[in-house]
Each structure stands twice: as structure tokens, then as C-alpha cells.
Amino acid sequence: MTGYIAFIRGINVGGKNIIKKEKLAEIFVSAGLNNVKTFIQSGNVFFTTGGDTGQIKNDIEEELYKHLGNRVPVMIMAQSYIAEVVNENPFKDIPADPDLKTYYVILEGDPAKDIPVPFESEKDGILFFHRKGLIFCATSKPVNGKYFYPNAVLEKLSGTPATTRNIKTMKALAEIS
């Protein structure tokens, strides 16, 4: 059995697509997955399986659709891969700055367009500075006092759904078992 992390985009954000952690875990267990653990309310689920993750993704998205009434993308990655990316510490050369937020951005699949790294969107205050597979590392600085999430910028660039997690969440997911 392999450990995986499911990143669910757009649940429990801004009062929309509300689903309790317990219900989320129930959906994963009913899909036949083992050792299911949810982590914080933002749509992070650890599980183990020997099954086909493509089919699991489809099953989970369908169950979430039944519960929420709309479609939300689910990104599934091996937990060992998440640990590898996090342990490389791609943010080590980013200077400490209280106005700078740091994120991992996870694509749902291969981008429809090639994305050069580094890439900066000055109007959004977003810099993508590192990429490993479907995971991008980004910083966000305020523009006119407002922060922008890098997943919206990356989705526009790549033509592919994406979700964002902060460093603290990704470190915890790298260690969960």
C-alpha cells in the first residue's frame, strides 16, 4: 500500500463548498481507501491504497459533487513525493520578509502550455521561482495592500486547475502517516 495526499481545491474557503472533516474522511473511506486522515479544513486528505489513483480521483470528485452540488478538482500525489519536494527546501534562499508569503502550488495535471521558471507576474505580486513536476513554488507580495493567490495566476498561465498550500501545511503533510 502506498501513501497519498489528496489536495481538494476550493472547499471550506470563503464560506463556500463547506464540508466537515468527518464527512470528507467518510467519503474517502467509502471509496475503499485505508488509513484516511484529514488535515485542517482546507481539503487535505492522507490515505493509503494499492488502487489506481486516476479512478480514485474520479470517484472522489463524483462523491464530492453529490455532496456539494458542484465540481471541485482533486489532485492526488504520492506522500513520498510531497516529502521529497518539501525536504529539498526550495524556499531556503528566499530572504525572510514579513510582507512576503510563500506557497506551494499544485497543478491537477500537465500544463497545456509550457511555463518558464522563474516567472513573475508583477501586477499580482507573484513570483514562481521553482518547479518540480506538477508542484511550483511561489512568493506573493502585496500589491496596493492586497495579496493574490498564485494558483489563479498559474491556472491562467497553464490552462490547468491548481491549488495552493502554505509551507506549514506542506511540511505537516510530508510527515503525516
33-88: pLDDT as tens digits? 999 999 987 789 999 999 999 999 999 999 889 988 889 899 999 999 999 999 99
Is the pLDDT at 25 greater than 90? The verdict is yes
Confidence of residue 5 (pLDDT cuts 50, 70, 90): very high
Alpha carbon distance 142, 99 (integer Å): 7
Query: Where is pLDDT greater, at 17 or 136?
Result: 136
| pLDDT tier, 18 (very low <50, low <70, confident <90, very high otherwise) | confident
What pLDDT score was predicted for residue 4? 97
Task: Give the pLDDT of residue 13.
Answer: 66
What pLDDT score does 68 carry? 84
The chain-wide mean pLDDT, for the chain, equals: 92
Share of the chain above pLDDT 70, in %: 98
| Structural domains in the chain (count) | 2
160 in the same domain as 94: yes
104, 126: one domain = yes
Q: Edge-to-edge strand order for the sheet containing 126-132?
A: 119-121, 126-132, 135-140, 101-107, 162-166
- Same domain, yes or no, for 42 and 69? yes
Q: Which domain holds residue 21?
A: 2-82
What pTM value is reported for the model? 0.92
**Is residue 62 domain-shared with residue 112, that is, in the same domain?**
no
- CA end-to-end distance (rounded Å), the chain: 12
Give yes or no: residues 104 and 52 share one domain.
Answer: no
CA distance 10 to 13: 6
